[in-house]
């Protein structure tokens, strides 16, 4: 994720959350259809130009909503994919935001601290590097009233890069 604040780089876990990872990659690359604001099915890069609309210092930053309100979604939902080996036990966990069980679609968050109360409630589908957590922490420091950023925190480009084998 490229932002003015820096780059957030995360490793994805398709072996633990295959549907969630495939959905995230498909939306990022513009290969997965979704409903736009007027209800039409479209296929384009979903995350580019969206922002982090919810930022809470010491907890998490949340993005992936093209409306920027926290209510936007793709027009479909994903099944939850909870993996016992993945826990919200550290900063940098990349998880699917939702409104309850089996309601995730496009919104995601990056944890800034251990958040075990989120285990088995939000699908973990990746982990961000330590340097990326520092970028996320800077974004969280921009928080203002209602957990909204005081200044826009826009993803200029969501890029998916396949890591070399063995990395």
Q: What is the CATH number of the domain that holds 41?
A: 2.40.100.10
Q: Does the annotation mark 53 as catalytic? A: no
- Report residue 117 as tokens: 């109360």
pLDDT at 164: 72
Q: Does the annotation mark 108 as catalytic? A: no
Question: What is the H or E stretch that residue 160 is in?
Answer: none
Q: Does the annotation mark 59 as catalytic? A: yes
Q: Is residue 74 part of a domain?
A: yes
Catalytic residue among 35, 59, 87, 90: 59
Answer for the pair 155, 49: CB distance below 8 angstroms, yes or no: yes
Collapsing DSSP to helix, strand or coil, 41 comes out as strand
Number of H helices, E strands in the chain: 2, 11
Give dist(CA 130, CA 24) in Å, integer.
21
Give dist(CA 46, CA 27) in Å, integer.
5
Q: Is residue 152 part of a domain?
A: yes
Q: Is residue 134 part of a domain?
A: yes
Catalytic residue among 62, 73, 107, 153: 62
Which residue range(s) make up the domain with 27? 2-157
Full pLDDT tens readout for the chain, 167 residues = 999 999 999 999 999 999 999 999 999 999 999 999 899 999 999 999 999 999 999 999 999 999 999 999 999 999 999 999 999 999 999 999 999 999 999 999 999 999 999 999 999 999 999 999 999 999 999 988 999 999 999 999 999 998 776 65
Q: Does the annotation mark 141 as catalytic? A: no
pLDDT at 166: 64
Q: Is residue 167 part of a domain?
A: no
In angstroms, the Cα distances linking 167 to 123, 144, 163 are 23, 38, 7
Q: Does the annotation mark 82 as catalytic? A: no
- Count of domains forming the chain: 1
Give dist(CA 164, CA 66) in Å, integer.
31
Q: Does the annotation mark 122 as catalytic? A: yes
Catalytic residue among 32, 53, 88, 122: 122
Q: Does the annotation mark 148 as catalytic? A: no
């Amino acid at each position: 994720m490229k932002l003015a604040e820096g780059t957030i780089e995360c490793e994805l876990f398709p072996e633990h959350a295959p549907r969630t990872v495939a959905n995230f990659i498909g939306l990022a690359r513009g290969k997965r259809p979704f409903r736009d604001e007027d209800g039409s099915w479209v296929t384009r890069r979903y995350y580019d130009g969206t922002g982090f609309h919810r930022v809470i210092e010491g907890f998490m930053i949340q993005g992936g909503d093209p409306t920027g309100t926290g209510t936007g979604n793709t027009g479909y939902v994903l099944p939850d994919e909870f993996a016992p080996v993945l826990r919200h036990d550290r900063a940098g966990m990349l998880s699917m935001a939702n409104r309850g069980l089996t309601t995730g679609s496009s919104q995601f968050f990056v944890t800034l601290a251990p958040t075990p109360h989120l285990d088995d409630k939000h699908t973990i589908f990746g982990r961000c590097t330590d340097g990326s957590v520092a970028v996320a922490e800077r974004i969280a420091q921009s928080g203002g009233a209602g957990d909204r950023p005081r200044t826009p925190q826009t993803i200029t480009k969501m890029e998916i890069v396949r890591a070399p084998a063995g990395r």
